Structure 1
Amino acid sequence: MTAPRTLPLGALALSLTLATPILHAAPSDEGERTSSYNPVKITEPFDSIMQRMKDAKPSILKKHQALLEQRYDLSDRPAASLQMTRGKPIQEGVRVKLPAETNWAELAAMSPEDIRAKGLFPAGFMPLPHPNHPEGGMVFPQFHIDEVNRIEGRDLTRFDLDFDLPDHFLPEFPAPIFLTTRPDLGDVSQGKLVNIRNYFELFNGILNPKQLEGLRLLVTTFPQQQFNATDDRRSVHPHNGVACLDCHANGHTNAATHLAGDVRPQELRHRIDTPSLRGVNIQQIFGSQRALKTVEDFTEFEQRAAYFDGDPVMAAKKGVNVLERGSQVHFMGEFQALLDFPPAPKLNVEGRLDPAKATEQELRGEAIFHGKGACAGCHVPPYYTDHLMHNLQTERFYEPQEYNGVRAVGDGPIKTFTLRGIKESPPYLHDGRLLTLEDTVEFFNLVLQRNLDEQEKADLVAFLRTL
């Protein structure tokens, strides 16, 4: 086994001298411009930074909560007799709120130009900002924070903000784990969150030595932008960092959020909803909007750049863990490629519904998926992806605008996510702006102008739940 390498001290010092510390700074009266770089030299004492951010936290959370409530019905309203693999109820119904004095049918009949001119594009279809967009960074749901703290004594709490979406809209936790190599075992998680203290116990005798070492690295903590030992961290105490499976919990997702590191300035960065790692073995591009070509590229990119908001200068300062490509990255990728989708008993080997097992509504939904809805143009069976990026050009429907620290000018190309196991991966779209499958169907019906009626939309949702 090759030990992780770190940057030589000379390279670290050189990297730090190259920084221009004004990424989050607003232009001054003298016309100071923003920069591509984060602040590197911190002059304010840490205790002062922490107290200032703690004092600002209630008003930041209140403003963001008001935005969520203006956009969505956030009530806990699960579907009857519909659950995820381990029993968590699935939320139903359209939760995006419509503009006053309109309905979905009227909106779908309008042209994008009319919707834009009249300001009728639903706010819940607009880009979803980070809980504190000007600050950004990794934010974890409270249930994950509590479990990691219980197991490892490692606290992923941020003193400046909390996760925003209610738990009932998030994936079940801990998620089940299915392996392509051992379908006979079913869920191998034993109902536990895989972590550095139990990974060997759970997987010894199931994985080979390379895969086991890859899993160890995936549950090992490394410094990250908000969780590290420096004076501009966002944890109360100096921190060992985060692990890959802190966001991709049990190789799936806990809906932890972050901001994409590949856009500047800050207000144009996109919120990221953590995608599931299930089905990595059949995918050909990685990252919601990055189009990285292999899971090894994705793994290495996350460690070197995404952990630090895409800023290698900050990575050098905070202690980047440079993985060895030929062994460590390969081992991590090999384990990720074992993560399978949950069983879909109504699908045949070609990924289509078995008429002997499906309901009439589900069969109607499948016909709409391949016909009038034209969903299969991008989401191709058996895995319901075309391995491409598509630009929905949502900016056709609204004027550029700013709110809660984000400047909404469009989404750009988005990866075609696989729809296998989709009912277990809420919320939806790359930033999690769509809370339910019903919201998702309404979004695509409007944006792609499919003109589905209410029954057709309900049938389509029924089909998606079988995947």
Structure 2
Amino acid sequence: MKLKLPGCRTAVTALLALAGATVAVAQDEDFGALVKRLQSEQPAFAERQQKLLKERYDLSDTPDDDAKMSRGKPVQSGIRVRLPRGVTWDQLAAMTPADVKAKNLWPAGFFPLPHPHHEAGGMIFTQVLIDETKKQTGRDLTRFDLNFDLPQHFLPEFPAPIYLTTRPDLGDVSQGKLVSISNYYELFKDILNPKQLEGLRLLVTPFPQQQFNATDDRRSLMAHLGVSCFDCHSNGHTTASTHTVGDIRPNEHRHRIDTPTLRGVNVQRLFGSQRAMKTIEDFTEFEQRAAYFDGDITTAAKKGVNPLERGSQVHFMAEFQALLDFPPAPKLTVFGRLDPKLATESELRGEAVFFGKGQCASCHTPPYYTDNLMHNLKVERFFNEKMINGRKASADGPIKTFPLRGIKDSPPYLHDDRLLTLEDTVEFFNLVLELKLTTQEKQDLTEFMRAL
């Protein structure tokens, strides 16, 4: 039965948006018309997002003189969230949440960060990943309707190093290359056993996805093979490519996703920022069956869902993921604490804050700095609900405690990328937890986290 609603295109689009479906193609719009329309709309949405980012943050490229990621990329320094006019961080910290809310003083950069085009959503990749993937495999991860929004200097280094729990003697086994279907065998054939190697092959194999597929409801100009797990989790880490979560409705409440690193999944017991799935196998299977297609099983069938066999394929993929280790942290002991003979005075003071006044260790317990639980920060105490570029800033609910080991390698921070630096993160938690840290304590805490 085919339902026709002449003259109701706008209403149908609105209903689809409320249902969380992709606002895509009216039935009378062919692919060429869709491309033309979305390309014409793209500059306005890009301008809207860039205006928001510049209002929220200092986006300058200001690296720290000393702090580096594992392969040497400079870590961005300083507080980048802009304060409301006429107030200081110390003044904000002295207020109650009710006062901050009543006076509308919650910093703009501490509100949820929308997707680059929140109403459209979907996977969006960083330009360095797009360029290297196209160079290696010919697959083009460009979307014709939008581009990634954050500057490259705020993102993880690319390509990221790979450390294996089974071969720590080798250090970075990536050889400075992005691992893809074109080179995974050459790089890993002498390091992995056949089952692990097959798991890695599946992780770098593209499968159809909501925006990248062979139907006329896609966001790539050419019919597409799809995306791989390692497109988002490049080299088992992250490039900060983003998406919107598939399990929240209506669309305005959906979170932008901070693609987390896969390093250290072997020590984690919860997967997904809020879903709390209990094994990496569950998460691997969920991604292919549901997240790739926005939780829409009808669309998945049309676009080419590829159900993975749990006893072999999913298990093999999970086995490789469980080998991904944290980067070396030479100043830490086997218990995950600083070695006083190697740490600086600032790092040692920061450790004392972390385990004391800062209350960080209440959730982030050593040696991997996670308690494998979820916690609700109740940030909504500080602000009134508001719409921000298609995203409703409201209660986030409980969020998984992600490990802090190797945290300097994984900017930006929080579950939706809203915090660009560790300094921003310290200021955020100083307010949310009402800690009243001094300037020196905040600086020392940042130095400690860079040593993890």
Amino acid across the alignment from 1:401: K
Percent of aligned positions that are identical: 67
Matches within 5 A, 1:310-349: 310-349=295-334
Matches within 5 A, 1:3-42: 27=11, 34-35=18-19, 37-38=21-22, 42=27
For residue 146 of structure 1, what is the aligned residue in structure 2? 131
Given the alignment of the two structures, is residue 387 of structure 1 paired with residue 372 of structure 2, yes or no? Answer: yes
Given the alignment of the two structures, is residue 117 of structure 1 paired with residue 102 of structure 2, yes or no? Answer: yes
Instruction: Measure, in 1, the Cα distance between the counterparts of 2:188 and 2:352.
Output: 41
The Cα offsets for residues 134-153 of structure 1, whole Å up to 9 and x where unpaired, read as 00000000000000000011
Q: Is the 8 A contact 1:128 1:431 kept in 2?
A: yes
Instruction: Measure, in 2, the Cα distance between the counterparts of 1:291 and 1:392.
Output: 17
Matches within 5 A, 1:28-427: 34-35=18-19, 37-38=21-22, 42-427=27-412
Q: Secondary structure at the match of 1:222?
A: coil
Q: Is the 8 A contact 1:194 1:249 kept in 2?
A: yes
**1:62 to 1:214, Cα distance in 2 relative to 1, 3 A:** same
Q: CA deviation at 1:81?
A: 2.1
**1:30 to 1:67, Cα distance in 2 relative to 1, 3 A:** closer
> Aligned pairs, how many?
448
The Cα offsets for residues 108-153 of structure 1, whole Å up to 9 and x where unpaired, read as 0100001011110001000000000000000000000000000011
Amino acid across the alignment from 2:37: R
Instruction: Measure, in 1, the Cα distance between the counterparts of 2:204 and 2:13.
Output: 47
Instruction: Measure, in 1, the Cα distance between the counterparts of 2:277 and 2:4.
Output: 28
Gaps of 5+ in 1: 1-16
Instruction: Measure, in 2, the Cα distance between the counterparts of 1:18 and 1:297.
Output: 37
**1:50 to 1:112, Cα distance in 2 relative to 1, 3 A:** same
The Cα offsets for residues 191-227 of structure 1, whole Å up to 9 and x where unpaired, read as 0000001101000121111100000000000000000
Amino acid across the alignment from 1:429: L
Instruction: Measure, in 1, the Cα distance between the counterparts of 2:177 and 2:3.
Output: 42
Instruction: Measure, in 2, the Cα distance between the counterparts of 1:410 and 1:78.
Output: 33
Q: CA deviation at 1:278?
A: 0.1
Instruction: Measure, in 2, the Cα distance between the counterparts of 1:448 and 1:235.
Output: 43
TM-score (norm 1): 0.93
- Segments of 4+ moved more than 4 angstroms: 17-21, 25-33, 36-41
**1:167 to 1:327, Cα distance in 2 relative to 1, 3 A:** same
The Cα offsets for residues 223-253 of structure 1, whole Å up to 9 and x where unpaired, read as 0000001111000011000000000000000
Instruction: Measure, in 2, the Cα distance between the counterparts of 1:198 and 1:373.
Output: 45
Bigger mean CA deviation after superposition, 395-404 or 26-35 = 26-35
Q: Is the 8 A contact 1:392 1:447 kept in 2?
A: yes
Q: Secondary structure at the match of 1:245?
A: helix
Amino acid across the alignment from 1:326: G
Root mean square deviation of aligned Cα: 2.0
Amino acid across the alignment from 2:345: E
The Cα offsets for residues 421-443 of structure 1, whole Å up to 9 and x where unpaired, read as 00000000001100000000000
Q: Is the 8 A contact 2:354 2:445 kept in 1?
A: yes
Q: CA deviation at 1:20?
A: 13
Amino acid across the alignment from 2:292: Y
Q: Secondary structure at the match of 1:79?
A: strand
Q: CA deviation at 1:42?
A: 3.9
TM-score (norm 2): 0.96
Instruction: Measure, in 2, the Cα distance between the counterparts of 1:307 and 1:37.
Output: 13
Instruction: Measure, in 2, the Cα distance between the counterparts of 1:36 and 1:458.
Output: 42
Instruction: Measure, in 2, the Cα distance between the counterparts of 1:402 and 1:114.
Output: 21
Q: Secondary structure at the match of 2:49?
A: helix
Q: CA deviation at 1:28?
A: 6.9
Q: CA deviation at 1:34?
A: 3.4
Q: Is the 8 A contact 1:393 1:412 kept in 2?
A: yes
Amino acid across the alignment from 2:448: F
For residue 442 of structure 2, what is the aligned residue in structure 1? 457
**1:374 to 1:51, Cα distance in 2 relative to 1, 3 A:** same
Amino acid across the alignment from 2:194: P
Q: CA deviation at 1:27?
A: 4.5
Instruction: Measure, in 2, the Cα distance between the counterparts of 1:18 and 1:143.
Output: 44
Bigger mean CA deviation after superposition, 438-447 or 282-291 = 282-291
Amino acid across the alignment from 2:394: V
Q: Is the 8 A contact 2:18 2:249 kept in 1?
A: no
Q: CA deviation at 1:164?
A: 0.3
Q: Is the 8 A contact 2:17 2:251 kept in 1?
A: no
Instruction: Measure, in 1, the Cα distance between the counterparts of 2:304 and 2:296.
Output: 12
Amino acid across the alignment from 1:431: D
**1:206 to 1:237, Cα distance in 2 relative to 1, 3 A:** same
Amino acid across the alignment from 1:253: T
**1:110 to 1:327, Cα distance in 2 relative to 1, 3 A:** same
Amino acid across the alignment from 2:167: R
**1:359 to 1:19, Cα distance in 2 relative to 1, 3 A:** farther
**1:444 to 1:20, Cα distance in 2 relative to 1, 3 A:** farther
Instruction: Measure, in 2, the Cα distance between the counterparts of 1:447 and 1:305.
Output: 33
Amino acid across the alignment from 1:408: A
